[in-house]
Structure 1
């Protein structure tokens, strides 16, 4: 069938069979389908939608458009997680080594930040020497010997998705749940996973602002992933304030090191990390249930074993051998550290987490376009959470910046993110609100 006939079929509300979808994805990959035809199909899907079977077929076709990793020489369950993105979300840095301590193998392929959300790769690249894009030989070696490796997507993992997403990005079709589902899962399936846990966020700092939108995405992801043969569950977590008390790149790595070493642990960050880990261990058969899995995760952190594995991973991927002993020596630091105080004393009743993320972008710590460079040293620490008292002694955050102009811009944005009032005005949300399973 001609590509334009496939577009016509979906435009008119018809159902695409796997052969239609495979033909079109082949054309996306090899250039046989034009940009206009890809855009037209994306728009047709945006308005007409896809059935679960169509979503599965699209996901599998995009998975098979490039390499599919094989981990059959590793006896441990192959486990990973995916977050839909937020502010102060450095969960992966603690989660991967703790899962490895608990018996999983974690080949974690992560992305870069865009817009107000941070990217795991940008954080890790603030560590001198860290190789975010190793060749497959080193990637496999680290996973096998250390138990986990956090790297970036190679060019030949789900290449059809890369072209498809680029066209969606400029044709106002990114927000389709059908296409978001296939985009996320095609890359995870290409990574050769056996178990996946999804952290689907909702709130002011999430791409899905409402709980209902986030739940619809989580349900789609879980149904399609399991339909494609990947054991998957999802947790719906709160992103109505920064998850960690730090937002930026080097500052989030330092926050993660403090968490792993037990010197400073943000409560909400602990809850989300342990919940995701417990879910992953149970789904992978490494724990009898999520409760046992959470207990195992807690022990991995409290024993110091997760910290030891993280240090080994950093070293194996080119970072300093003594990074965990003295991270402050290696992580870049901005010359200015400026506290930001609320105009009036009171209790933080609400935070626009997206705006906190925008403040980091104003400092140069994030991207507005994929090709933008980021400054690893800048960011915000000691970010006040909901329920925190702020006054002339307790700031809403401390800005790390390169110059006074950055400070002024970021300060104005950060202040606009905060609402200060009385404790009775606080709307409380569960950090982990729901679980979605097949």
Structure 2
């Protein structure tokens, strides 16, 4: 295919006007942007056209394939356990489409490792109002996500887990991910599906479980859209020979009681110690059950790993292997403010999107590519929906290192919650999607 066969303005106009992009056009522009031949302004325009016009299943599959083929693809089919040499070690991946307070990966990966499977987990940084696993883990002193392919393999054999930056995996997606974060193009079914599946297929797991969020704090808001996204990703995974299933889970309210990087690490440690918020525990254990079933492990109880400390042990080993020091205190914003209840009653719904944007305004997320996040910024939620509230109770605590951010953050949080009558209960697990 010649560089003169295509040009970015024509491809942009094709999608802007509702046309279908050919396989060759998709290959050309994804590779061109990865190589720096297509300008960020041009790719931004195309991304917005995709947001507005969408893609069909064929376009999504090809966009995924183009990003997958832009870098390395790991293969762990020959993986063997370090503890039992010669024994095949099943691998299973997990991915969440992003939410507010979603720290499940930090719990789930060590749980699965403690149950006898291995989890090669490439993770990303924050995207828009949603938190990123790498930003959270990097709030631990010394932790690095930059692992060589060989180091990933060694950790999987020794510990059963590695959480790493995608690096050479789907580099096209890495560039597009950062661009979507700052151009208002995160909430697009085709772009979410192709982003997720290009990374997941590249990381080489033998099976995959997806946590597809539904609600205000999700990248895709409605249940119908989230169901379509889940079905699309399951089909893409199965088409590549990777058994894949998905859970639709609620993200209308933040998950757990903290939103922010170091705050969520501490909450994950609470769960691994056998405590923590019930919704975080419930979701982690349900996802663990799905992952263990796909991995062919039916004789281990994931809940037991939280009770007996084996999951905590795996997490500590994982952090230490990647340079982290959990003996150092986790950072917390040096400036804080609180929101208190003006009346007594019952805590009503808490809007996940507004809480996520509040944490972002406090400094927990980015407004420019490559910007530093504040690891100690975030929101602590003191009353969960349905809990009793007395006038004067502290409902939220906000943390930041930059006090000038507090005004905008408090304004963002205003109207995100109510105190009054009990809210309508919502299930955390909405549905299960299989091929």
- TM-score, normalised by the number of residues in structure 2: 0.87
Describe the shift of the 1:30–1:393 C-alpha distance in structure 2 as closer, same or farther (beyond 3 A): closer
Shift of 1:401: 3.8
Equivalent residue pairs, number = 421
Judge conservation of contact 2:126–2:133 (CA < 8 Å) in 1: yes
Residue 66 (str. 1) matches residue 71 (str. 2): yes
The match for 1:282 is 293
The match for 1:267 is 278
Query: Quick check: 48-57 or 344-353, which moved more?
Result: 48-57
Shift of 1:261: 0.7
Judge conservation of contact 2:182–2:368 (CA < 8 Å) in 1: no
Structure 2 residue matching 1:363: 3-state secondary structure: helix
Structure 2 residue matching 1:129: 3-state secondary structure: coil
Q: 2:6 aligns with which of 3, 11, 16?
A: 3
Shift of 1:33: 5.6
Structure 1 residue matching 2:120: 3-state secondary structure: strand
Describe the shift of the 1:31–1:237 C-alpha distance in structure 2 as closer, same or farther (beyond 3 A): same
The match for 1:143 is 156
Residues 254-273 of structure 1, C-alpha deviation per residue, up to 9 Å, x if partnerless? 111111012x3211111111
The match for 2:320 is 315
Q: 1:16 aligns with which of 22, 26, 29?
A: 22
The match for 1:122 is 135
Which aligned pairs between 1:32-181 and structure 2 lie closer than 5 A?
49-74=54-79, 75-154=88-167, 156-165=168-177, 174-181=186-193
Shift of 1:58: 2.9
Shift of 1:224: 1.5
Query: Quick check: 105-114 or 42-51, which moved more?
Result: 42-51
Judge conservation of contact 1:361–1:367 (CA < 8 Å) in 2: yes
Shift of 1:313: 0.6
Judge conservation of contact 2:178–2:369 (CA < 8 Å) in 1: no
Judge conservation of contact 1:52–1:224 (CA < 8 Å) in 2: no
Judge conservation of contact 1:259–1:265 (CA < 8 Å) in 2: yes
Shift of 1:385: 1.6
Query: Quick check: 4-13 or 172-181, which moved more?
Result: 4-13
- Gap regions ≥5 residues in structure 2: 80-87
Structure 1 residue matching 2:122: 3-state secondary structure: strand
Judge conservation of contact 2:182–2:367 (CA < 8 Å) in 1: no
The match for 1:364 is 363
Judge conservation of contact 1:340–1:396 (CA < 8 Å) in 2: yes
The match for 1:380 is 379
Shift of 1:391: 2.1
Cα distance in 2, alignment partners of residues 399 and 33 from structure 1:
41
Residue 427 (str. 1) matches residue 430 (str. 2): no
The match for 2:220 is 208
Judge conservation of contact 1:56–1:228 (CA < 8 Å) in 2: no
- TM-score, normalised by the number of residues in structure 1: 0.86
Shift of 1:157: 1.5
Residues 334-393 of structure 1, C-alpha deviation per residue, up to 9 Å, x if partnerless? 345554212222112211111112222232222223332222123222442211222246
Cα distance in 1, alignment partners of residues 268 and 308 from structure 2:
16
**RMSD over aligned Cα atoms:** 2.8
Query: Quick check: 124-133 or 381-390, which moved more?
Result: 381-390
Cα distance in 2, alignment partners of residues 309 and 166 from structure 1:
31
Judge conservation of contact 2:77–2:206 (CA < 8 Å) in 1: no
Cα distance in 2, alignment partners of residues 334 and 27 from structure 1:
41
Structure 2 residue matching 1:364: 3-state secondary structure: helix
Judge conservation of contact 2:341–2:392 (CA < 8 Å) in 1: no
Which aligned pairs between 1:178-193 and structure 2 lie closer than 5 A?
178-193=190-205
- Gap regions ≥5 residues in structure 1: none
